[in-house]
């Protein structure tokens, strides 16, 4: 049995459970007790506050955990990132009141900065030769400048709308974060390692599927070479003749991040009837 620590309730909870579910691992009880066994896979979920997950994994109470990299960095336990999960993306940034003219990092010398991430901030300031006063608070960091607790903040930013609505502007990005699966591989028994490997195999298939799209298009035969040259493809695209002579259908997989550029090129080369479909799992 492999025990996975998951955030009990918060921004990462649903997405963590969704990812595991797509990997065929479902936890029966919806009311989330502390521990829940999966129905058809030797895994149990341990539901915790995200702040407690790194320590639980470090101590061996859980074998792996799904948590934001920001929390892992802040807590400082020696853990391995077993898998990057591609959700919960955000950054840790310094922000100051929007009316301040800001030029460079030395502005922060001697200033008071409020944060819930004192360790990450301290490291960043030392690395950049800035001496500031770190004021640790546990929540609502974004209101600290408004109420006079601090002159700047260091906090998680994703869209930036929280900063804007508190009259702040982001001036320095210190780190990026996303949800990760962390563990301590060296400590796992052979049995747990095997379960983790199976789980990772499934997670890769799900994640690869999420990062790609399946594309079908019709193309004039004389353009097939040019069109297939534009498609990165898995190995090579499938080319199927159509009933209408001189035309064929091309099937392939396109990476999500280059998707639109490739589609534009395909259209210019004469591709028609382009169909795009999500891929549920991809095993290569």
Burial of residue 265 (number of CB atoms within 10 Å: 0-12, 13-18, 19+): middle
Dihedral (Cα; 182, 53, 35, 87), 10-degree rounding: -60
C-alpha to C-alpha distance for 156 and 115, rounded to whole angstroms: 9
Q: In whole angstroms, what is the distance from residue 185 CA to residue 194 CA?
A: 11
CA distance 271 to 267: 5
Of residues 62 and 215, the one with the C-beta less far from ligand ATP: 62
Q: How far is the CB of 111 from Zn ion (least distance, A)?
A: 26
Q: Is the CB of residue 112 less than 8 Å from the CB of residue 151? A: yes
Supply the minimum distance, in Å, between the C-beta of residue 5 and Zn ion: 13
| Binding span for Zn ion by CB under 5 A among 19-27, 46-54, 72-80, 172-180 | 46-54
Tokens (6 digits) for 249? 């259908």
Which does residue 7 bind out of ligand ATP, Zn ion, none, counting CB within 5 to 8 angstroms by kind? Answer: ligand ATP
Q: Which does 252 bind (CB under 5 to 8 A by kind): ligand ATP, Zn ion, none?
A: none
Structural tokens at position 106: 């030395």
Among ligand ATP, Zn ion, none, what binds residue 177 when CB lies within 5 to 8 Å by partner kind? ligand ATP
Report the 10 Å Cβ neighbour count for 19: 23
User: Closest separation between CB of residue 274 and ligand ATP, Å?
Assistant: 33
Judged by the rule CB under 6 A, the positions of this chain that interact with ligand ATP are: 7, 10-12, 49-51, 68, 70-71, 88, 90, 156, 158, 177
CA distances from residue 185 to 83, 135, 204 in whole angstroms, order as listed: 12, 35, 18
Q: Shortest Cβ contact with ligand ATP: which residue?
A: 68
Q: Which is nearer to ligand ATP, 142 or 151 (CB)?
A: 142
Q: Does 50 bind Zn ion (CB under 5 A)?
A: yes
Structure tokens at 151: 């002159």
Tokens encoding 154: 């260091």
Residue 51 binds Zn ion (CB under 5 A): yes
Place of tokens 């080319």: 239
Is 74 an interacting residue with respect to Zn ion (CB under 5 A)? no
68 binds, among Zn ion, ligand ATP, none (CB under 5 to 8 A by kind): ligand ATP
If contact means CB under 5 to 8 A according to the sort of partner, which of ligand ATP, Zn ion, none does residue 170 touch?
none
CB of 53 to Zn ion, least distance (A): 9
Binding of residue 178 to Zn ion (CB under 5 A): no
Coil, strand, or helix at residue 37?
Answer: strand
CB of 153 to Zn ion, least distance (A): 17
Shortest Cβ 88–ligand ATP spacing (Å): 4
Residue 167's SS3 state is coil
Closest CA to 41 of 252, 216, 195, 163: 195
User: Please, which residue, 50 or 142, has the CB nearer to Zn ion?
Assistant: 50
Contacting positions for Zn ion (CB under 5 A): 50-51
């Amino acid at each position: 049995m492999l025990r996975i620590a998951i955030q009990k309730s918060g921004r990462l909870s649903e997405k963590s459970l969704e990812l595991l579910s797509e990997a065929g691992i479902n936890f029966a009880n919806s009311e989330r007790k502390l521990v829940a066994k999966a129905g058809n896979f030797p895994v149990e979920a341990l539901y915790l506050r995200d702040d407690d997950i790194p320590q639980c994994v470090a101590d061996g109470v859980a074998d792996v955990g799904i948590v934001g990299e920001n929390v892992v960095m802040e807590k400082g336990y020696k853990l391995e990132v077993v898998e990057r999960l591609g959700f919960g993306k955000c950054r840790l940034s310094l922000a100051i009141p929007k009316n301040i003219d800001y030029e460079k990092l030395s502005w922060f010398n001697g200033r008071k900065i409020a944060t819930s991430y004192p360790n990450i901030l301290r490291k960043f300031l030392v690395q950049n030769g800035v001496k500031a006063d770190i004021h640790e608070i546990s929540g609502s960091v974004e209101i600290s400048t408004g109420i006079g607790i601090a002159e700047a903040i260091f906090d998680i930013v994703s869209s930036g709308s929280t900063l804007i609505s508190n009259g702040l502007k982001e001036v320095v990005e210190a780190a990026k974060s996303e949800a990760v699966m962390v563990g301590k591989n060296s400590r796992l028994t052979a049995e747990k390692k095997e379960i983790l490997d199976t789980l990772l195999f499934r997670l890769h298939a799900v994640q690869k599927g999420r990062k790609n799209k399946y594309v079908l298009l019709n193309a004039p035969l004389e353009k097939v070479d040019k069109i297939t040259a534009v498609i990165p493809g898995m190995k090579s695209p499938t080319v199927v003749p159509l009933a209408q002579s001189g035309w064929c259908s091309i099937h392939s997989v396109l990476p999500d991040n280059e998707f639109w550029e490739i589609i534009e090129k395909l259209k210019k080369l004469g591709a028609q009837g382009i169909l795009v479909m999500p891929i549920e799992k991809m095993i290569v």
